[in-house]
Amino acid sequence: MKIIEISGLKKNYPLGKTTVHALRGVNLDVEKGDLLSVIGPSGSGKTTLLNIIGCIDRASDGKVVIGGKEICTLNDRQITDLRLHHIGFIFQTFNLIPVLDALENVEFPLLLMKTRSSAEVRKRAEKLIDEVGLSEYKKHRPAELSGGQRQRVAIARALVTSPDIVLADEPTANLDSVTGESILELMKKMNEIEKTTFIFSTHDPNVMKYAKKVVKIKDGLIEEESAS
């Protein structure tokens, strides 16, 4: 079942008198439960592609359908609700709310949804914190956690709403290799447990081994798609 359908996706950024063509006609379909890695060198268009899939940025041209919804036609509130209910994010650096502890950060999206009781929210958040191995650190604020621990909290938060898709833009970029690998292992594990579609970008070819499918992007175009 296709969870994402992208066709003819273009994204242009005006830069003074010139225009930067970040994406120049991308076509991509993502199956539900995939663990997709988007790889490519810096400036190839990986982040732009993920931003558009995550409704953080808007396409200049083309069509993006997520869960059967054409996102280009949605207004700000609908897009925000789509992100809240269907998409989880793991960013490279800015990740957590500094004034909330690890557990509260994980609870945050569920509290925004207002669909569960406080007890249910707490139970679900604790389950996720436990799954990412941070039970001992749940009362620690982000400033008291290491980079790897923060990314684990971010993964738990991204999964807490049981989204259809989790987008991770270079989640290991600021981590050492051992920690980075543990994060990717965790994502792979969560993909298997939660059956959630994961799309992560990286410019590290070694990361490919964790993905079920790899999309290689270069100069704004998909150069190669392969199953690992």
Partner 1 sequence: MKLIIKIAWRNIMRHRGKSLVIGAILFLGAFLMTVGNGIISGMSRGLQKNIVEGFTGDIVLISKKQETDNVFIEFMGKAIEPLYDFVKIEKVLEKQDYIKSFVPVGKNMAALLNDSENGAPGYSFVMGVDFKRYMEVFPENITPIEGRLLEPGERGAIIPTGARKEFFNTTGTWYIPRGDTLRKENLTEEAKSVTDLECKDNVVFMGFSTDNSTSDIRLDVKGIIKYKALNSIWGQFVLMDIESFRQCQGYFTASDSRVELSGGEKELFEMGGEGLDALFSDDALIVEESDRAVVDEKSLFSDSPVQQQAVTADLDEGVYNMVLVHLKDNADSKESLKAINAVLEEENLDVRAVPWKSAVGQIGSTAVIIKAALFVFVMLLFFVAIIIIVNTLSMAALERTSEIGMMRAVGARKGFIRKMFLGETGLLSFAFGGAGILAGIAVVNIVSLFKIKSDNDMLQLLFGGDTFNPLLSVQDTGLAILQLVLVTLIAVIYPLLVAGNITPLDAISRE
Q: Which residues bind partner 1 (CB under 8 A)?
A: 47, 51, 54, 56-57, 76-77, 80-81, 83-85, 88-89, 91-100, 108-109, 111-113, 157-158, 161
C-beta of 76: minimal distance to partner 1 in Å? 7
C-beta of 23: minimal distance to partner 1 in Å? 15
C-beta of 107: minimal distance to partner 1 in Å? 9
Torsion of CA 100, 101, 104, 108, to 10 degrees: 50
Closer of 74 and 113 to partner 1 (Cβ): 113
Closer of 38 and 96 to partner 1 (Cβ): 96
C-beta of 83: minimal distance to partner 1 in Å? 5
Closer of 110 and 183 to partner 1 (Cβ): 110
- The side-by-side arrangement of strands in the sheet containing 61-66 is 18-31, 2-15, 61-66, 69-70
